[in-house]
A and B are shown apart, each in its own frame.
Chain A
């Protein structure tokens, strides 16, 4: 199939979906009040974007998200690389991560804020708990993929570097890290999705400020168009981040042959 034809089919498929969304409430196939037509939702999205209150909430959420994801990257990637190069450490830590895997990390926001609440004022405890669960949620994919990447370095590359006279530190910096980078980045892609899920989840569960809270307030007062509008915005954010990631990887790793 030619690229032009592929694009046309993709566009047609999206158009059909949007058309169904627009038509269903208008034809009375879905209740207009709970599923507003797409055009009205998009108009709502524009209104929400123009709302200064929403922009404040968005800034709060963005700060939380960046703090949580940043902590996870700073802790998880070095830990994963260390695990990849030190089998004993890996054997010790990997079962712990496997144990944590099926635990709904977002739900841990509640016990965390209870425990933290004994140490700090309530507002700060809530905030710290939210950032902590985001970090916790992202930690596993980041660590596991960094460990896989660092463990899977072609040994002949390391031999070549040793033969050329590269010491331990240089081998880590010049061979292990670049070789593990594609895996680290694919972990980051999963972590991006997990971070948004955990962010919105934590904000829905423990209401305070943030996009999740804004979304829920709209739900509480029955402004369903606004609910849909914010949902569309959040979905678009996820898509933009993911696409931006793919573009960045292609620029960053021109040598990488695999799929990003």
Chain B
């Protein structure tokens, strides 16, 4: 029973959410269909938006910004994390910045980012980056600081340079930690970009959402929320897949 439940859990959850949504919309118990359209109506609207090219375009814009933000965050976060994990000086220098970055709501930066970078993609990518980089840096730093000393020493004894040790020994050993930070960071990047697009933009899924709301085309609003959630899911699933391939050597990385 419970094993069956464990396997079907995710499917059941999707069905439960769709069922509750459909029941609330169909009976009109919560709100009228204009404000809360049924899942079927949203699916039809999504199909129409897909055919006329709106949805692929907005999705592509959001995806591009998200990937840019995530790639930058991955590079910067991993570099900062490795430095913090392996050098006491780097740790002391970067800790206040990472601490501040972790604790503050990055979204409050957004108006300032728009002032600096304008209304184009720059500010959204920057917000996605800011949401993603700190979890990656913190998780990488924690993992890198726990790399067994004998591993590093034996590599040094074999003649590897400091840089080679960082790249060939510390990075792979810290990879499980880095990747769990990356999972948090990836969802952060999606949400950061999307919220940025909602607050001030002329394209992207976030814009689709706000435009649907302002122009009272509510089904667009729901199409946008569903699309960005699916995007988050799909990217997370891809990352999990990549992680499984990258961590084939690690015995306990199933979760």
CB neighbours (8 Å) of B198 from chain A are 107, 205
B13–A231 contact, CB under 8 A?
no
Interface-facing stretch out of A70-78, A89-97, A247-255: A89-97
Is B167 an interface residue when CB atoms closer than 8 A count as contact?
A: no
CA distance A168 to B87 in the complex (A): 49
Known contacts being A103-B232, A231-B111, A231-B112, is A111 close to B102, with CB within 8 Å?
no
Interface of B is mostly: helix
Closest to A228 in B: B112
Q: Give the contacting residue for B14; candidates A14, A99, A196, A205; CB below 8 A.
A: A99
Interface-facing stretch out of B46-54, B90-98, B168-176: B90-98
B2–A115 contact, CB under 8 A?
no
CB neighbours (8 Å) of A9 from chain B are 89, 92-93
Name, among A102, A238, A239, the residue most crowded by chain B CB atoms within 10 Å (CB to CB). A102
CA distance A1 to B92 in the complex (A): 9
Known contacts being A91-B2, A242-B99, is A201 close to B107, with CB within 8 Å?
yes
CB neighbours (8 Å) of B158 from chain A are none
A117–B35 contact, CB under 8 A?
yes
B199–A205 contact, CB under 8 A?
yes
Q: Give the contacting residue for A204; candidates B5, B95, B110, B112; CB below 8 A.
A: B110
Known contacts being A98-B13, A104-B191, is A6 close to B225, with CB within 8 Å?
no
Q: Give the contacting residue for B187; candidates A7, A88, A102; CB below 8 A.
A: A102
Closest to A236 in B: B104
Tell me the minimal C-beta distance from A140 to chain B in angstroms: 11
CB neighbours (8 Å) of A95 from chain B are 9-10, 12-13
**A110-130, CB under 8 A of B: which get 1 and which 0?**
110011011100000000000
Tell me the minimal C-beta distance from A122 to chain B in angstroms: 13
How many B residues touch the partner, as a band?
Answer: 35 or more
CA distance A34 to B5 in the complex (A): 55
**A175-207, CB under 8 A of B: which get 1 and which 0?**
000000000000000001100110111001100
CB neighbours (8 Å) of A219 from chain B are 111, 114-115
CB neighbours (8 Å) of B30 from chain A are 115
Known contacts being A10-B92, A88-B2, is A231 close to B108, with CB within 8 Å?
yes
CA distance A215 to B17 in the complex (A): 36
Is A151 an interface residue when CB atoms closer than 8 A count as contact?
A: no
CB neighbours (8 Å) of B103 from chain A are 192-193, 238-239, 241-243
CA distance A87 to B9 in the complex (A): 13
CA distance A52 to B161 in the complex (A): 60
B96–A88 contact, CB under 8 A?
no
CB neighbours (8 Å) of B17 from chain A are 96, 99
Known contacts being A115-B31, A115-B35, A228-B112, is A10 close to B100, with CB within 8 Å?
no
CA distance A218 to B222 in the complex (A): 31
B35–A118 contact, CB under 8 A?
yes
CA distance A219 to B111 in the complex (A): 7
Count of chain A residues with a beta carbon within 8 Å of a chain B beta carbon: 64
B107–A107 contact, CB under 8 A?
no
Tell me the minimal C-beta distance from B244 to chain A in angstroms: 17
Tell me the minimal C-beta distance from A207 to chain B in angstroms: 10
**B161-205, CB under 8 A of A: which get 1 and which 0?**
000000000000000000000000001001100110011000000
Measured CB to CB, the residues of B under 8 A from A are 2, 5-6, 9-10, 12-14, 16-17, 30-32, 35-36, 88-89, 92-97, 99-100, 102-112, 114-116, 187, 190-191, 194-195, 198-199, 206, 209-210, 213, 218, 221-222, 225, 228-229, 231-233, 236
* A-B contacts besides A10-B95, A111-B35, A216-B111, 7 pairs, CB < 8 Å: A10-B92, A10-B96, A95-B12, A101-B187, A106-B191, A110-B210, A114-B213
Give 16 A-B contacts (CB < 8 Å), ordered by A residue.
Answer: A35-B116, A91-B2, A95-B10, A101-B187, A102-B190, A104-B194, A107-B198, A108-B225, A111-B36, A193-B103, A200-B105, A204-B111, A205-B210, A218-B111, A231-B108, A234-B108
Measured CB to CB, the residues of A under 8 A from B are 1, 5-7, 9-10, 12-14, 17, 30, 34-35, 87-88, 91-92, 94-96, 98-99, 101-104, 106-108, 110-111, 114-115, 117-119, 192-193, 196-197, 199-201, 204-205, 212, 215-216, 218-219, 224, 227-228, 230-231, 234-239, 241-243
